[in-house]
């Protein structure tokens, strides 16, 4: 299943467009978090980034 909802990086509005924001013209991103997996092979790297921030 593909995610249809997108969120603008600049103004924070939601849209169904896939190329650019219809309100301000900035780039869009997928607002959903990544799928959780107990066998996540990148967990160590994400935790290290979280500790640095």
Q: Which CATH class is domain 6-52?
A: mainly beta
Helices and strands of the chain, counted as H and E runs: 1, 3
pLDDT bracket for residue 24 (50, 70, 90): very high
pLDDT of residue 1: 53
Confirm whether pTM is higher than 0.85: no
Token match 């991103």: residue?
A: 29
| Greater model confidence, 6 or 43 | 6
What are the residue ranges spanned by the domains of the chain? 6-52
Cα distances (Å, whole numbers) of residue 12 to 18, 20, 29, 46: 15, 12, 10, 24
Q: Encode pLDDT of 12-23 as tens digits.
A: 999 999 899 999
């Amino acid at each position: 299943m593909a995610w249809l909802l997108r969120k603008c990086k600049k103004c924070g509005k939601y849209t169904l467009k896939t190329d650019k924001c219809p309100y301000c013209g900035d780039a869009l991103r997928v607002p959903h978090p990544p799928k959780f997996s107990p066998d996540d092979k990148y967990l160590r790297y994400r935790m290290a980034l979280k500790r640095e921030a």
